[in-house]
Amino acid sequence: MNRLMGTGLSMEIAQHKILQETDIQLAPGELLGLIGPNGAGKSTLLRGLAGLLDLSAGDVTLDERDLQSYHPDVRARKIAYLAQNGEAHWPIKVQRLVELGRTPHLSAWQRPGGTDEEIVHNAMRATDTWTLRDRIFSTLSGGERMRALIARALAVEPEIILADEPVAALDLAHQLDVMELLLDHCRAGGSAIVVLHDLPLAAHYCNRLQLLDKGRTIAVGVPSEVLTQENLHQVYNLVPRSESFSSDIFTLPWTTSRSQGGTGHE
């Protein structure tokens, strides 16, 4: 059973084909990496799956039901979307920002209650942002910001997280942090699709990868099947530096102390 599935997804803007008949599947517990060069259609595909885009053609189903048939609130409770360059337009506190994740669960008049507070608290503990709760979001460092935004997404308690380049502009340690958080979500039964540029990072953390180029899927499968010499040459025009190329070289030689030690630092 697929949790989220797209079939024949196409997007055309001003006769420019951004996405062409792309299929995509996401299973429960799975962390799927969307990779490909700039302009490959990764963000468009992700926005289409999030229901943020009126696709030119194709169907998206969530839990085997047409995504369009969901009430926006219901859909919003199942899918959390992490936008590229996530920002806050007002200088709000981190805790308030995370609380916004409860939006789909509250009616227009409702204020967050005790359970909501607990969920927000948990999300902030999981992302190590509880100590930042009274800080103004815009004053945080890049890594702290991303963790807060992930906490916001986790506060939705979604089945699926769709994250658009969440590690862009982060230093290596913070990149690993973010990937660990997404992996935690999937280990706990959720699933996620994450757009990435860093191939070793993608190979290390993702169960499966989907390689896009010019709006088409070039390859999909476990990292070793996707990150082949041929595919990389075709899509990125890359050639191996040495003859002993194997997808093993995408293994990361390090990990965060947090995941190593088993407990988070608080």
Partner 1 sequence: MSTLTAKTASEMNQGMLLALLGLLVVSLVVISLFIGSNPIPVFQALQESLDDTPTVLSMILTEVRLPRALIAAFAGATLGLCGAVMQGLLRNPLASPGLVGSSSGAAFGAVAVLYFGLGTTFWAALPLGGMLGALGATLLVYLLAGRDASIVTLILAGVAINSLALALISLLLNLAPSPYAVREIVLWMLGSVASHSMNEFWIMLPGVLLGSLLVTGNGRALNALTLGEDTARSMGINIVRLRWQLFLAVALAVGSAVSITGAIGFVGLVIPHLLRPLVGYMPGRLLPVSALGGAAMLLMADIAIRLFPAGTEIKVGVLTALVGAPFFLYLILKTRRAQL
Q: How many CB atoms lie within 10 A of CB 37?
A: 14
Written as six digits, the tokens of 127 are 């992302």
Q: Does 116 bind partner 1 (CB under 8 A)?
A: no
Q: Does 106 bind partner 1 (CB under 8 A)?
A: yes
Q: Does 108 bind partner 1 (CB under 8 A)?
A: yes
User: Which of 78/174 has CB closer to partner 1?
Assistant: 78
Rounded (10°) angle between helices 142-155 and 172-187: 10
Q: Does 156 bind partner 1 (CB under 8 A)?
A: yes
Q: Does 100 bind partner 1 (CB under 8 A)?
A: yes
User: Which of 162/211 has CB closer to partner 1?
Assistant: 162
**Residue of 54, 64, 134, 266 interacting with partner 1 (CB under 8 A):** 134
**Residue of 25, 61, 103, 228 interacting with partner 1 (CB under 8 A):** 103
Phi and psi dihedrals of 124, rounded to 5?
Answer: -75, -35
Q: How far is CA 202 from CA 32, 86, 97, 222, 226, in A?
A: 9, 21, 28, 11, 11
Whether the Cβ atoms of residue 193 and residue 26 lie closer than 8 Å to each other: yes
Residue 94 Cβ vs partner 1, minimum distance, rounded to whole Å: 11
Query: Which residues, 4 to 63, sit near partner 1 by CB under 8 A?
Result: 47, 50-52
Residue 247 Cβ vs partner 1, minimum distance, rounded to whole Å: 33
Read off the amino acid at residue 260: Q
Residue 92 Cβ vs partner 1, minimum distance, rounded to whole Å: 5
- What is the C-alpha separation between 97 and 85, in angstroms, rounded? 15
DSSP state of 230: H
Q: Does 168 bind partner 1 (CB under 8 A)?
A: no
Q: Does 152 bind partner 1 (CB under 8 A)?
A: yes
For 8-28, b/e burial (b = at least 16 CB within 10 A) is: ebbbeeeeeebbbebebbbee
Give the binding-site size for partner 1 (rule: CB under 8 A).
38
Structural Rg of the chain based on CA atoms? 19
Which positions from 69 to 98 touch partner 1 by CB under 8 A, shown as an x/- string? Answer: --xxx-xxx-xxxxx--xxxxxxxx--xx-
Residue 139 Cβ vs partner 1, minimum distance, rounded to whole Å: 5
Residue 153 Cβ vs partner 1, minimum distance, rounded to whole Å: 9
SS3 content of the chain, % helix, strand, coil (to 5): 40, 25, 35
Binding site for partner 1 (CB under 8 A): 47, 50-52, 71-73, 75-77, 79-83, 86-93, 96-97, 100-101, 103-104, 106, 108-109, 134-136, 139, 152, 156
